[in-house]
Amino acid sequence: MENIASFLPLILLFVVFYFLLIRPQQKQQKKRQEMLKSLEKGDRVVTIGGLHGVIKEIDEEVISLRVAEGLSLKLSRAAVERVLDDESEQ
């Protein structure tokens, strides 16, 4: 019984870390993966580097992003930070 009591604070600490750090991070990663999977041609996006543009072409791993008239960049799909909607642009 004393062995269990000596490990109880350690177990409690792990449970607290799980619910405060690990679980929210896993939810955030899952949400990001869903966002990356749902990217479509014509979406207005912001990259991790801060570039704003419209998806011109999209592949499994590579997207072509139109950042200005006549200027397109090829980026990794993972470089997209967020998708802009009409409300967030204003």
Give me the residues paired with residue 38 across strands: none
**Res 87: pLDDT:** 60
Q: Tell me the pLDDT tens digit for each residue of 5-62.
A: 888 989 999 999 999 999 999 999 999 999 999 999 999 999 999 999 999 999 999 9
Name 22's Cβ contacts closer than 8 Å, sequence gap at least 6: none
Q: Tell me the pLDDT tens digit for each residue of 62-86.
A: 999 999 999 999 999 999 999 998 7
Cα(39)–Cα(36) distance, integer angstroms:
6
**Res 43: pLDDT:** 95
With 80 as the cut, is the pLDDT of residue 88 above it? no
With 60 as the cut, is the pLDDT of residue 89 above it? no
